[in-house]
Amino acid sequence: MVKYLGSKRVVIVSGFAGAGKSTLARKIAEKYKLRYLSSGDLFRKIAAEYGITVDKHSYEKFIEAHRKIREIPEIDLKVDELQKKEAEKGNIVIDSWLGGFIIPEGIKIYLKVDLEEAARRISKRDGITLEEARKRILERYKENKERFLKLYNVNIDDLSPFHLVLDTTFLDEEETFKVVDCFLENFLEK
């Protein structure tokens, strides 16, 4: 049981690219009438304040923006501080690579997925080849792993902070939601 949750309903969905984080987080927010926060959207907004456009539709521009951002750790720190502040208010689902490691309270869910299935999903979603999707996933994972280790001394391969770790490789969106919803019903009132 998550005893420190109290009346603040906080759910954090973290995980591997292509595992279904955003889709799941939105479904949870809808069912339990919680606010939804995408750390990716927040990240793009804060980066823009520093004059950096993170274009998620052009991978080359996306990578270039991340190279610039790596030189300005304040962007990551500000995004993460805002996530923590929103979590403190409660009644929220946070879709975040790092949230489950840095936000102290809440129900923490980690979605993982086989690399080939993640590549298939991202290839379909973004209209790119499987090879390109695979390359992007691995580059992003490596970059996040290095950045989070440097900034927070967090190893994103250590899943011990999570209450539920779910492999979505053989699950579709609805099946993933059903499993997680069954788990959440123990903690959240509808």
Which structure tokens are listed for 50?
């520093």
Domains and CATH numbers, the chain: 8-174 (3.40.50.300)
Return the pLDDT at 124: 92
pLDDT for residue 18 is more than 80: yes
User: CA 71, CA 153: separation in Å to the nearest integer?
Assistant: 17
Q: 111-148, pLDDT tens digit by residue?
A: 999 999 999 999 998 888 999 999 989 988 898 898 88
b (16+ CB within 10 A) / e for 24-56: bbbbbbeebebebbbbbebbbebbeeeebebee
